[in-house]
Chain A
Amino acid sequence: QSALTQPASVSGSPGQSITISCTGTRNDIGGYYYVSWYQQHPGKAPKLMIYDVRNRPSGVSHRFSGSKSGTTASLTISGLQAEDEADYYCSSYTSGSTLDFGTGTKVTVL
């Protein structure tokens, strides 16, 4: 069981689009469509933003979208806004019936 790999930080200007990658193996991301993305603001609990690779929960902005190719999943934030500044984590179901989280990415809005 090991953490999925994410870039430590990603930044963009308001209105721009950014993409966060999440790299795993064939035993997690590559083998299942149970990839989720979470947003966490300082001092707060995480919030689900994307589930099952590309589905948005009710109430989550359409500016957030997810995809997967092979063993890498991606989260794209379009039309970046100040309120999007937060930490983002991916997660994936694994062949060991566990849940792996990514290392986390700090998004900065310039």
Chain B
Amino acid sequence: EVQLVESGGGLVQPGGSLRLSCAASGFTFSSYVMNWVRQAPGKGLEWVSGISGSGDITHYAESVKGRFTISRDNSKNTLYVQMNSLRAEDTAIYYCGKDLGLVGATGVDYWGQGTLVTVSS
């Protein structure tokens, strides 16, 4: 059974930093693209970033480019996102998602339960 468990969310001041983690199990982690998707309170889904199975190819939404860094540790079956220079508009539930495919962000077939990030003074 595929399981994705996010952690690391919380309250942070504007301009601050936070690192989210996603522990994966139940599939061959290193074979799949992994994604971060967020949902602001009462709003729709927004793809944030994706990373290839080997970790050498990354892509970002324009809204977070230069501020967020996605990474993975295949020896620990764990996905990360380092979030710097946080803004109020980054407030959202952040979901970790396993991609359908092996190359490129083609869609998410398994989702974590999400972790809430609140950016406020």
Contacts and interface: CB of A to CB of B under 8 A. Distances in A.
Contacts of B100: 34, 36, 51-52
Given A48-B109, A98-B61, A93 B44 contact: no
Interface in B5-42: 35, 37
A102 B113 CA distance: 20
B112 A45 contact: yes
Interface in B67-121: 95, 100-101, 104-114
B107 A101 contact: no
Interface string A30-52: 00001110101000011110011
Interface in A71-110: 89, 91, 93, 96-104
Contact of A57 (B59, B109, B114): B109
Given A36-B100, A45-B113, A99 B44 contact: no
A95 to B, nearest CB: 11
A interface bracket (residues with beta carbon within 8 Å of B): 20 to 34
B interface bracket (residues with beta carbon within 8 Å of A): 20 to 34
A1 interface: yes
Given A1-B62, A48-B109, A91-B107, A101 B44 contact: yes
A100 B47 contact: yes
B107 A93 contact: yes
22 contacts: A1-B62, A3-B44, A34-B104, A34-B106, A36-B106, A38-B45, A45-B113, A46-B108, A51-B107, A89-B44, A91-B47, A93-B106, A93-B107, A96-B59, A97-B50, A98-B50, A98-B60, A98-B61, A99-B47, A99-B107, A101-B44, A102-B44
Interface of B: 35, 37, 44-47, 50, 59-62, 95, 100-101, 104-114
